[in-house]
């Protein structure tokens, strides 16, 4: 990542280069998600238990994410937004 920062700093004025980087970033995201999917699908422990404990896990996550988003929303409005 440090190497990327240095390269980005050197080439920051070249629009075509930046456009290509954005395009590659998208495809790297797709690749990573595909690979995450493979490891989830190939893990028998996850697939076998998904119906039983999956619901618990997902509902807990919804509360965790909901709480953190609402709290950070307040922090954003109080400390960050007025700049």
Partner 1 sequence: MKGSLIILAFFVAGVITGIYRFLPGQIFQTDYSLYALYLLMFLVGIGIGSNKKALTLIKEVNFKILLVPLSVITGTYIGVSVFSLVQSNLNLPDSLAVGSGFGYYSLSSVLITELSNETLGVIALLSNITREIITLLLTPVFARYFGKLAPIASGGATAMDTTLPVITKYIGSDYAIISVFSGVVLTILVPFLIEIIL
Rounded to whole angstroms, the maximal C-alpha distance in the chain is 53
Of 52, 50, 29, 28, the C-alpha closest to 41 is: 50
Q: Is 19 in the site for partner 1 (CB under 8 A)?
A: no
CB 37 within 8 A of CB 43: no
Instruction: Give the nearest distance from C-beta 28 to partner 1 in angstroms.
Output: 5
**Total of chain residues touching partner 1, rule CB under 8 A:** 67
CB 11 within 8 A of CB 17: yes
Q: Is 82 in the site for partner 1 (CB under 8 A)?
A: no
Point out which residues bind partner 1 (CB under 8 A): 1-12, 18, 21-22, 24-26, 28-43, 45-47, 49-50, 53-54, 56-77, 79-81, 83
């Amino acid at each position: 990542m440090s190497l990327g920062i240095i390269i980005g700093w050197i080439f920051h004025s070249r629009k075509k280069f930046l456009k290509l980087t954005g395009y590659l970033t998208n495809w790297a995201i797709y690749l990573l998600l595909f690979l995450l999917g493979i490891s989830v699908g190939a893990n028998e422990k996850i697939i076998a238990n998904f119906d039983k404990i999956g619901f618990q896990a997902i509902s807990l996550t919804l509360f965790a994410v909901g709480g953190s988003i609402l709290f950070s929303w307040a922090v954003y409005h109080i400390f960050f937004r007025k700049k």
